[in-house]
Structure 1
Amino acid sequence: MKKTFLYVLIAGIGLTACNSNKNEQKNENPFFAEYNTPFQTPPFDKIEFKHYEPAFMKGMEEGRAEIEAIANSKETPTFENTIVAFEKAGKLLDKVSNVFGNISGTEKNDEISALQKKLSPLLSKYGADISLNENLFKRIKTVYDQKDQLDLSVEEQTMLEKIYQGFVRGGANLPADKKDQLRKIDEELSALTLQFGDNVLKETNSFQLVIDNEKDLAGLPEGVKATAAETAKDAGMEGKWLFTTQKPSMLPFLQYADNRDLRKQLYMGYVNRGNNNNKFDNKEVAKKIVNLRIKRAQLFGYKNHAEYILEKNMAKTPEKAFELLNKLWKAALPNAKKEVKEMQKIIDKEGGKFKLASWDWWYYADKVKKAKYNLDEEELKPYFEISNVRKGAFELAHRLYGINFIPRNDIAKFNPENQVFELQEADGTHIGIFYVDYHPRASKNGGAWMSSFRKQSGFGTDHPVSPVIMNICNFTKPVGDTPALLTPDEVETLFHEFGHALHGFLSKCEYNYLSGTSVSRDFVELPSQIMENWCFEPEMLAIYAKHYKTGEVIPTELVKKIQNAGKFNQGFATIEYLAASMLDMKYHTLTKELTEDVMTFEKNYLEGLGLIPEIYSRYRSTYFKHIFAGGYSAGYYAYIWAGVLDSDAFQAFKETSLFDKATAKAFRDNVLAKGGTEDPMVLYKRFRGAEPSIDPLLIKRGLK
């Protein structure tokens, strides 16, 4: 429910510090006027730290007044004066929240964290005051009870249903004593999720593997060594080599470094984040979040948090999600065990007198790949120069949907590393503005994501609003004169996040509430994951995979190697992901308070599943930000659920042609354009003609 949970979420993302007087800022604060910029993009060259706090305070003040006006109106409740009015309320708060929440995820510092903690309870209270406003809910319920007599469009019917259910799920029907409990729980959860995310970022930034003996770099490619030398220089350690637990730094070391002890040191630094019994330790924080979520769900009459969450997802029930996860687990685990045996054979052949361990996986998997497929990722990287990969993603969107991307150097950036593009339809019609930000910084959260500074709305009205969207990633940095050369995983990530962006850009909804990515968690990954399917198709590689020095298109023999190795290491990839998904579900199907340490809980559960010791869960409890500091609690399964959808959906292109415009139009019209305006399975079947089959996913992953 937007007016409740948006502000709780923003409170958990971050606020930029400011101590200025509100009246002094009234006339100069950029948030208090229409942006006088191209396409009303945020004026990042004018927005300062001092502008955020007064804008939040004024935004909450205006939002409360607008809500009170709706709640206390003497007019008979109608869809227009109640539902639409509610959907449009809080514009200023939305405006500053959208900018600030995004900036704080990329430019974090101590000032940001301090004000974030200050405003978190205020924003939590603001959301609770709306969701628990009895007069407001009465008016909404009055309209909802008359829905069958109203002449509403499909989108309007869906919005009415979702707003009403949002209030119910936000506590509107609870008795007074339970409403008080809910307020306290939500406020505490807001603070704890914020603390969890801060701890992970600080733990990630605090670990350093410093190497001063060049012999310890044995096995590493020259490009990896050069990057580590530059990282060390930037940290004031010139003449040394620095590796961190950021994946672009860590994974190449794990893959190539001959020094097994150092591989272990770096990997254990990664998997023990938040579990070091220091001031950033997350064990108690995670346990408190789990237990508060149990209490919260049971206030509403659900057995557990997962029941509460999944009710509005495609899966509907925890049992349905577990059914898919268990089926895939049973299919993938034997593959992972075979992969262990293959690697152990190499260890034994080389005279290693040890058993394969988790920190050895990338190193020996690389040896297996070279032996079985004669494929070395270092051979591929020169063909995956970052600007060529980005252009490839843009060209794919052009071939599918006819859209064009125009660089815009006249639009202010939120960081000098940004690139900014305007999207246009084939006829030149403006679609939106796209910011990309591709490399790690100490101030930037890890991972990759898409978000919006402004969502699409107003389609079919006199006041259309175009989207302003960003993709944030943490890819390998350029070094010296060598541009950023991506790994195959990073190539897939770029296409994935671009797919999310297209979902936002190609939305054609009247209401912001339902537009773009405002869909269920297990449907939102379909538009992103389907894009990954094109990455390594020969026709697609011929478009973008060009050697960064010579411009030579990737050779046919390398393309064949990529295809031959397509199912390589899928046992590992599937099992490490499923372990995290099932751990998430296990935490959130608890019906009684968790009393044991979360690491003990994790160990006992995953060992009981049969997780082999050579594989750790992709995310361990103490740094599992998706579920403890993000929006994926009881929802990390969504990636594999959407994997069934995207694998089946891509078959529609394989059955026609890779860039078939009719198929692309059907996908655009029935999935991308619709946002959350209809049930996702209805949308999917309208595109595909039937419910998805699991077989394409099993075949793609080598599980069938």
Structure 2
Amino acid sequence: MNPELTNWTGPLGLPRFDLIRDEEFAPAFEECLKLAGDAVEAIAANPEPPSFSNTVAALETAEEPLNRLCAVFYNLAGTDSNPAREELQRQFAPRLAAHGSKVSMDPRLFDRVEAVMQDKDALSPEDRRLTELTLRGLRRSGAGLTGDARERMAAIRERLAVLSTDFSQNVLTDERDFTMAVADAELGGLPDWLLRAMRAAARERGLPGQVVTLNRSLIVPFLEHAQSRALRELAWRAWTARGNGSGAGGEATDNRPIAAEILKLRHERAQLLGYPDFASYKLEPEMAARAENVEALLTEVWQAARGRVESDGRKLTEMLNADGINGALEPWDWRYYAERRRQAEHDLDEAEIKPYLTLDAMIGAVFDTAQRLFGLEMREFSAPLWSPDVRAWEITRNGQQMAVFLGDFFARPSKRSGAWCSSLRQQHKIGSGQRAIVVNVCNFTPPEETGAPAYLSWDDAHTLFHEFGHALHHILSDVGWPSISGTSVARDFVELPSQLFEHWLEQPEVLDRHARHAVTGEPMPAALRDRILAARNADQGFATTEYLESALVDLAFHRGEPPADPMARQAEVLADLGAPKAIPMRHATPHFAHVFSGDGYSAGYYSYMWSEVMDADAFEAFMEKGDAFDPETARRLEQWILSKGDSLPADELWLKFRERKPGVHALLKGRDLLDVAS
């Protein structure tokens, strides 16, 4: 086995990606699965009486080589996929799931951990928390099942691993294989910065002229600016066809039957464990706890957003009709007319804004904010990574290393869409301890020429801050055990740091310091800055509605009996809501990767809004002090939220930070929906 797959020798402990070959992964997986199996078996079969040290703590490191191998491989599979890596995913997804089932359903391990829990009062608070979580995880994985139920649970988990891999790869295929050429005569309304991005996308694919791809940073501005209604419709239909059998991959990438089978298997899995449905199972350990609590929050915000959307829709329809187009506003019309309205009401033009929002300038803003809040220092260094575009920084505080941070910012055909944060290595204090290696991945449009500045939209800049908020959760983590460090928290708590950090982008002092013109170096004019901030909630009714539609459909999928036809259930939920035709779900079922490319956000897409209730309230804590960089509030934020991981329940951590429960008022105020709600 290539030692670089598990014993990394690159700068600051990074893997040497230049020394890794695809053909080395299969034998490495075979060896690491065996090593992990042997290590766990030794714990389960240990003749010594169960103790925290020989059972719970031992499990924390038993699978370390396999964990490191998976970190390398799945990072590559998400950021730089190719046919060999896709085949490896299909090959080893069921193998890894089978290994996971064997470990987590081992009754001997369950009995040992349960025995340790009998003496929990002798444990330190963090060790007790780890033991409780380990026992809960074993119980929820089916360690208490026997006979046919046990075998069926293992089979379900293996099948779900295959299905989620297929779902993700189908979406990637449809995204990667679609391009729409736009003739020179059809470029009306497209700003120069977007034309440059479209031409760069064409060159990257060896095509002439300019093209639209399904990269969000390209297709959304095209829908906002293209004067050709026919082209907007073609682009929108391609974007929403991902995974439904009519996308670029055709019937081979139809995710609808995959989604139906996933929902059916999740329901069966929950019932095997004694839960009435998957939502009950999934929400039990979350802050929300019950589906009724989720529905209550989403419904309250829906009512406020619906009033705003009805008002906005009337105004946009008037604009449509004034252009000589009779009939209703369509989904491919909304963004176009909303952008025209924003420009008219706030005197804003993306071409005027983008030169001040270069990627390097916004990285500087992110790092400066982290330094002022938490005393972090960043030093960029060179390392052999998976793409020349990827950048690396060492993060220190008071001369001590805090983490290594990697940024993979630009879209590539081989990268799955969206933005995310992951870690190659978790922080812990076992032995001499280790600090995190954390990765932020985005899909920004690359510059037209090598060495030229990369321009971000306002939404892109928010994404940059959002993902670094997740990174801070890893960077500032200060717990003993890897499985409770960093972002290993309740799903509806994990978005709190990321969404909270976005608030600092909107602080005038941050923009005044960092939003500087790419050519002249001059700071953004105060008048332009103020117009941007005044317009930040423009079309908030649309953004809130498309999100809530997806969250409510996700919740409906997992409550009660699973739908035989998810598309019919989706239509039924939207009809019951009275969802506007011109605002479809942000993520329709066939490409709803949050929900179907794994269990992470299944019955949990609501968590962005659940966390937003807290992030709005958390930023109010700074505002109450009259200083967005108030040192004492920042110290408390690190002490009780960013450093604690899952060492305490999320609701306890929140109360220690804020000393009261959060309310929806700050969220509605932040989205400019308060007047509608009242």
Does TM, scored on the shorter chain, surpass 0.5? yes
Indicate if the aligned counterparts of 1:536 and 1:562 stay in contact, CA closer than 8 A. Answer: no
Indicate if the aligned counterparts of 1:29 and 1:51 stay in contact, CA closer than 8 A. Answer: no
| Residue 620 (structure 1) aligned with residue 588 (structure 2) | yes
Residues 47-196 of structure 1 aligned to structure 2 (within 5 Å): 47-148=20-121, 150=122, 152-196=123-167
For 2:506 and 2:327, locate their aligned partners in 1 and report how far apart those are by CA, in whole Å: 36
Q: 2:393 aligns with which of 396, 421, 428?
A: 421
| Residue 272 (structure 1) aligned with residue 236 (structure 2) | no
Task: Tell me which residue corresponds to 2:426.
Answer: 455
For 1:206 and 1:62, locate their aligned partners in 2 and report how far apart those are by CA, in whole Å: 39
| Residue 434 (structure 1) aligned with residue 405 (structure 2) | yes
Residues 488-503 of structure 1 aligned to structure 2 (within 5 Å): 488-503=458-473
Residues 161-560 of structure 1 aligned to structure 2 (within 5 Å): 161-211=132-182, 213-238=183-208, 240-276=209-245, 278-409=251-382, 411-425=383-397, 427-458=398-429, 462-480=431-449, 482-560=452-530
Task: Tell me which residue corresponds to 1:669.
Answer: 639
For 2:403 and 2:361, locate their aligned partners in 1 and report how far apart those are by CA, in whole Å: 22
Task: Tell me which residue corresponds to 1:610.
Answer: 578
Indicate if the aligned counterparts of 1:366 and 1:376 stay in contact, CA closer than 8 A. Answer: no
Superposed CA deviations along residues 391-437 of structure 1, whole A, max 9, x for unmatched, are 1000000000111000112x221211111100000x21111111101
Q: 1:47 to 1:482 in 2, by over 3 A?
A: closer
Indicate if the aligned counterparts of 2:192 and 2:351 stay in contact, CA closer than 8 A. Answer: no
Indicate if the aligned counterparts of 2:189 and 2:226 stay in contact, CA closer than 8 A. Answer: yes
For 2:508 and 2:322, locate their aligned partners in 1 and report how far apart those are by CA, in whole Å: 35
Indicate if the aligned counterparts of 1:30 and 1:51 stay in contact, CA closer than 8 A. Answer: no
For 1:98 and 1:80, locate their aligned partners in 2 and report how far apart those are by CA, in whole Å: 26
For 1:641 and 1:649, locate their aligned partners in 2 and report how far apart those are by CA, in whole Å: 13
The worse-fitting range, judged by mean Cα deviation, of 372-381 and 85-94 is 372-381
Find the residue that maps to 2:552 and give its secondary structure. Answer: helix
Residues 551-630 of structure 1 aligned to structure 2 (within 5 Å): 551-589=521-559, 591-596=560-565, 598-630=566-598
For 1:347 and 1:570, locate their aligned partners in 2 and report how far apart those are by CA, in whole Å: 20
Could you tell me how far 1:233 is from its partner in structure 2? Answer: 2.6
For 1:76 and 1:419, locate their aligned partners in 2 and report how far apart those are by CA, in whole Å: 48
Q: Letter of the aligned partner of 1:499 in structure 2? A: G
Could you tell me how far 1:67 is from its partner in structure 2? Answer: 1.1
For 2:12 and 2:301, locate their aligned partners in 1 and report how far apart those are by CA, in whole Å: 46
For 2:203 and 2:65, locate their aligned partners in 1 and report how far apart those are by CA, in whole Å: 43
For 2:313 and 2:352, locate their aligned partners in 1 and report how far apart those are by CA, in whole Å: 25
Q: Letter of the aligned partner of 1:629 in structure 2? A: S
Superposed CA deviations along residues 662-691 of structure 1, whole A, max 9, x for unmatched, are 111110111000000001111111111111
For 1:84 and 1:688, locate their aligned partners in 2 and report how far apart those are by CA, in whole Å: 32
Find the residue that maps to 1:61 and give its secondary structure. Answer: helix
For 1:675 and 1:334, locate their aligned partners in 2 and report how far apart those are by CA, in whole Å: 38
The worse-fitting range, judged by mean Cα deviation, of 443-452 and 35-44 is 35-44
Could you tell me how far 1:235 is from its partner in structure 2? Answer: 2.1
Indicate if the aligned counterparts of 1:685 and 1:691 stay in contact, CA closer than 8 A. Answer: yes
Indicate if the aligned counterparts of 2:189 and 2:225 stay in contact, CA closer than 8 A. Answer: yes
Q: Letter of the aligned partner of 2:329 in structure 1? A: L
Superposed CA deviations along residues 78-107 of structure 1, whole A, max 9, x for unmatched, are 111111111221111111111111111111
Q: Letter of the aligned partner of 1:623 in structure 2? A: H
Task: Tell me which residue corresponds to 1:3.
Answer: none
Could you tell me how far 1:462 is from its partner in structure 2? Answer: 5.0
Could you tell me how far 1:487 is from its partner in structure 2? Answer: 0.6
Could you tell me how far 1:482 is from its partner in structure 2? Answer: 4.2
For 1:308 and 1:231, locate their aligned partners in 2 and report how far apart those are by CA, in whole Å: 44
Identity of aligned residues (%): 36
The worse-fitting range, judged by mean Cα deviation, of 519-528 and 72-81 is 72-81
The worse-fitting range, judged by mean Cα deviation, of 427-436 and 492-501 is 427-436
| Residue 29 (structure 1) aligned with residue 3 (structure 2) | yes
Q: Letter of the aligned partner of 1:632 in structure 2? A: Y
Superposed CA deviations along residues 592-614 of structure 1, whole A, max 9, x for unmatched, are 24223x22221121111110101
Indicate if the aligned counterparts of 2:22 and 2:84 stay in contact, CA closer than 8 A. Answer: no
Find the residue that maps to 2:444 and give its secondary structure. Answer: coil
Q: 2:649 aligns with which of 659, 679, 682?
A: 679
Indicate if the aligned counterparts of 2:376 and 2:396 stay in contact, CA closer than 8 A. Answer: yes
Superposed CA deviations along residues 326-358 of structure 1, whole A, max 9, x for unmatched, are 111111111011111111122223333232111
Find the residue that maps to 2:410 and give its secondary structure. Answer: coil
For 2:505 and 2:374, locate their aligned partners in 1 and report how far apart those are by CA, in whole Å: 17
For 1:337 and 1:164, locate their aligned partners in 2 and report how far apart those are by CA, in whole Å: 49
Superposed CA deviations along residues 489-520 of structure 1, whole A, max 9, x for unmatched, are 00000000000001001000110010000000
Find the residue that maps to 1:548 and give its secondary structure. Answer: coil
Find the residue that maps to 2:585 and give its secondary structure. Answer: coil
Indicate if the aligned counterparts of 2:288 and 2:492 stay in contact, CA closer than 8 A. Answer: yes
Indicate if the aligned counterparts of 1:530 and 1:646 stay in contact, CA closer than 8 A. Answer: yes
Indicate if the aligned counterparts of 1:77 and 1:143 stay in contact, CA closer than 8 A. Answer: yes
Q: Letter of the aligned partner of 1:603 in structure 2? A: A
Find the residue that maps to 1:474 and give its secondary structure. Answer: strand
* Structure 2: runs of 5+ lacking an equivalent: none
For 2:384 and 2:402, locate their aligned partners in 1 and report how far apart those are by CA, in whole Å: 18
Task: Tell me which residue corresponds to 1:17.
Answer: none
For 2:433 and 2:105, locate their aligned partners in 1 and report how far apart those are by CA, in whole Å: 31
Q: Letter of the aligned partner of 1:393 in structure 2? A: V
Could you tell me how far 1:377 is from its partner in structure 2? Answer: 2.4
Q: Letter of the aligned partner of 1:567 in structure 2? A: N
Q: Letter of the aligned partner of 1:165 in structure 2? A: R
Task: Tell me which residue corresponds to 1:12.
Answer: none
For 2:314 and 2:98, locate their aligned partners in 1 and report how far apart those are by CA, in whole Å: 55
Could you tell me how far 1:625 is from its partner in structure 2? Answer: 0.2
Indicate if the aligned counterparts of 2:44 and 2:108 stay in contact, CA closer than 8 A. Answer: yes
For 2:78 and 2:223, locate their aligned partners in 1 and report how far apart those are by CA, in whole Å: 27
Indicate if the aligned counterparts of 1:670 and 1:684 stay in contact, CA closer than 8 A. Answer: yes
Q: Letter of the aligned partner of 2:288 in structure 1? A: A
Indicate if the aligned counterparts of 2:426 and 2:434 stay in contact, CA closer than 8 A. Answer: yes
CA-based RMSD: 1.3
For 2:659 and 2:115, locate their aligned partners in 1 and report how far apart those are by CA, in whole Å: 37
The worse-fitting range, judged by mean Cα deviation, of 344-353 and 179-188 is 344-353
For 2:372 and 2:162, locate their aligned partners in 1 and report how far apart those are by CA, in whole Å: 46
Find the residue that maps to 1:534 and give its secondary structure. Answer: helix
